[in-house]
Structure 1
């Protein structure tokens, strides 16, 4: 039996020997459903054209059956149009379902990596401390590293919980008047700590603006915006936050980074659920593809709007080109075009600028009686 199985001649294999071929999974593509949908649409269009032509020809003959043809034309044409609309809608839903399935697969790969990496690190350091004698200095170093891993896990879990809360409509959070500068400073400080960046990585230009909104949603909104800007910024990343308030009470917060930018045809897609540009296996940035999805949903839930575009950085105070000065003033309404930013980027640097506009805002002017300082004697 052994010789028969291991022999080079396939004809000498034993009768009860089963050769199992390797399983090959063909990657799912949209070619088949799209082709089928296009063929069905063409057939329905041809059928509609033939139906309408035939019934019109029969209706204009002015004989005893012309009335029946008019009835058939009035009843059949809308039905054929409805069938055509149904085929187009079915094709559209199929494409969306395919894309969602692909994004969910990327999401699973990303979350698996995000969970496995800190857990493997924690396991390694715990095993090292258990099996070997570790000095006090090394123990402190290990504890700091393990604490960072735990915070990374905690951040990921909070991210998933935020996404689940937004997906099911959220809770009835109580709105209050919030200092926008305080919220932005808190979110920026936390992002710099998470990504181990110096505090000057994020610069804030915000007057005394207050917004009436739930503090939980506002913090989730700007935390994800700043995280996204730092994560996909340049090397080193630079982020600038600019806030303005219109006379109608609309507050616009612009988040500008110094990254490579987003192609115009992909700017709407990045706000989708589980959307991350590129291949998940070739990506070096951490994330789950839920950050901008949370930003979009929370902005809409607060009655606001969001816009994404290329962002241009102001370079220096010696801007002589009037076009550059006008452009800088339009993009940074809270500061003068001749005034340098506190976080300048290289000349010609084009990043991504996301504008979030929220209602129910107001500027609180300082009270001169309470804020005035006594004159020096």
Structure 2
């Protein structure tokens, strides 16, 4: 509604300005017939500048409107993302408090609560890191560390059982003893976001493949899923802040739109690249490339 009102006012001002221009041109021409060339020249220059400015302003208004809409969707998503695990933790703790459970049951409920807490922790870390990146207050301190151990620990933490047969969702092939120089905290966020995204956009029981290997003085991290896939038109936008694949009206997956934005920003700071490829027969492959120095 606000956008429509703004656009109505915007176009009304344009119409008014054009009408004023035509009236003044006619008025000047009626007074000085011998200056038709000057009037046309000045008028065409004014129209050119005016049209260019109007188009630029229109694009700015649309861009700002889309950004505001994305921020509203972000707030709604964050609220939902916070509410779901908090409700789960509350129910589990109340069950422990009110029921006479066995030690095994209590430990199982505690484990589930800790998983929800880790999920909340990941989301908070994402928001804090995104804020620091935007404010340019994060320095990305770099040191040499074992990337193989890092990826393996993240895979084990995010390994979930979504099937009745307790099938493990993540299939990992991790080459041992791969070391790189980088910001371990920020790169932890990169790996976590890529793997979580793959799980999130996959159906239950669909395997997510994570591969880490070195080749030709480069390190490759591949995360492949068999999910909904990404259209070619959207591949160039998925790393934009707040952007999420699909329509807000039809999207079923949760998320804040910060994960892939953080991934791209962090990798840029490490002079690493990321590309998105289609998986066959369905899904996507995210491939990160680090140059060994």
TM-score (norm 1): 0.60
2:158 is aligned to 191
> Aligned-pair distance for 1:292?
0.9
The partner residue of 1:213 within 182, 188, 197 is: 182
Structure 1 residues 209 and 29, CA, compared in 2 at 3 Å: closer, same or farther? farther
Q: Deviations over 1:107-139 (max 9, x none)?
A: 222222222223223333444444454444443
> Aligned-pair distance for 1:244?
6.6
Q: Deviations over 1:18-56 (max 9, x none)?
A: xxxxxxxxxx4866666776788899899999x99xxxx
Structure 1 residues 31 and 233, CA, compared in 2 at 3 Å: closer, same or farther? same
CA distance in 2, matches of 1:263, 1:243: 26
2:199 is aligned to 230
The partner residue of 2:282 within 350, 353, 361 is: 350
The partner residue of 1:309 within 256, 277, 281 is: 277
Q: Deviations over 1:60-110 (max 9, x none)?
A: x9x8x69x839x83x765554333222222211222222222222222222
Structure 1 residues 84 and 158, CA, compared in 2 at 3 Å: closer, same or farther? same
1:81 is aligned to 48
CA distance in 1, matches of 2:96, 2:146: 46
2:75 is aligned to 108
The partner residue of 1:265 within 227, 233, 248 is: 233
2:131 is aligned to 164
Say whether the 8 Å CA contact 1:260–1:350 is kept in structure 2: yes
What SS does the corresponding residue of 2:138 show, helix, strand or coil?
coil
Say whether the 8 Å CA contact 1:180–1:206 is kept in structure 2: no
Structure 1 residues 45 and 352, CA, compared in 2 at 3 Å: closer, same or farther? farther
Say whether the 8 Å CA contact 1:33–1:91 is kept in structure 2: no
> Aligned-pair distance for 1:261?
0.8
CA distance in 1, matches of 2:266, 2:230: 22
> Aligned-pair distance for 1:235?
3.5
1:124 is aligned to 91
Deviates more, 1:29-38 or 1:230-239: 29-38
The partner residue of 1:96 within 20, 39, 63 is: 63
1:361 is aligned to 292
Say whether the 8 Å CA contact 1:189–1:199 is kept in structure 2: no
Structure 1 residues 47 and 194, CA, compared in 2 at 3 Å: closer, same or farther? farther
Say whether the 8 Å CA contact 2:210–2:224 is kept in structure 1: yes
What SS does the corresponding residue of 1:111 show, helix, strand or coil?
helix
Say whether the 8 Å CA contact 1:41–1:88 is kept in structure 2: no
The partner residue of 2:258 within 268, 284, 290 is: 290
Structure 1 residues 85 and 205, CA, compared in 2 at 3 Å: closer, same or farther? farther
Structure 1 residues 240 and 109, CA, compared in 2 at 3 Å: closer, same or farther? same
Structure 1 residues 243 and 232, CA, compared in 2 at 3 Å: closer, same or farther? same
Structure 1 residues 204 and 166, CA, compared in 2 at 3 Å: closer, same or farther? farther
Instruction: Give the helix-richer structure, 1 or 2.
Output: 2
Unaligned runs of at least 5 residues, structure 2: 26-32
TM-score (norm 2): 0.75
What SS does the corresponding residue of 2:283 show, helix, strand or coil?
strand
Say whether the 8 Å CA contact 2:162–2:204 is kept in structure 1: no
> Over aligned residues, Cα RMSD in angstroms?
4.2
2:28 is aligned to none
